[in-house]
Amino acid sequence: MAFGIYSLLEAILLCLNAVCVLHDKRFLSKLGPAEAPGFGEEPGMKSQLLNLIKSIRTVVRIPLIGVNIVTIALKLVLG
């Protein structure tokens, strides 16, 4: 199997699926709450990561369903 654009897009799709499947109470609560930094302070790495995960889940969840359907259809048709 050659590494091409489709393989790269499929890997990105799988990573987005993995982020969207994370459960709030089981996984994300163990990382701790996203703390708001004080005035003039940079947010920590953990806080930035939690904000990124929540943003991805908010924006990508609905379009991801359609992209998954198209990907599955392509896999079934093209093999």
Give domain status of residue 21, yes or no. Answer: yes
0.75 cut: is pTM over it? no
Q: What is the mean pLDDT of each run of 10 residues along the chain (79 residues)?
A: 83 92 77 64 81 88 93 91
Asked, for residue 28, whether it belongs to a domain, the answer is yes
Instruction: Output the pLDDT for position 6.
Output: 86
Sign of CA dihedral 19, 25, 30, 31: positive
Name the token pair of 71: 């990907």
**Residue 76 pLDDT:** 95
Q: Other C-beta atoms within 10 Å of 49: how many? A: 13
Among 61, 59, 68, 57, CA closest to 28: 57
Q: For the chain, what is the domain count? A: 1
- In-domain check, residue 59: yes
3-state secondary structure 27-46: HHCCCCCCCCCCCCCCCCHH
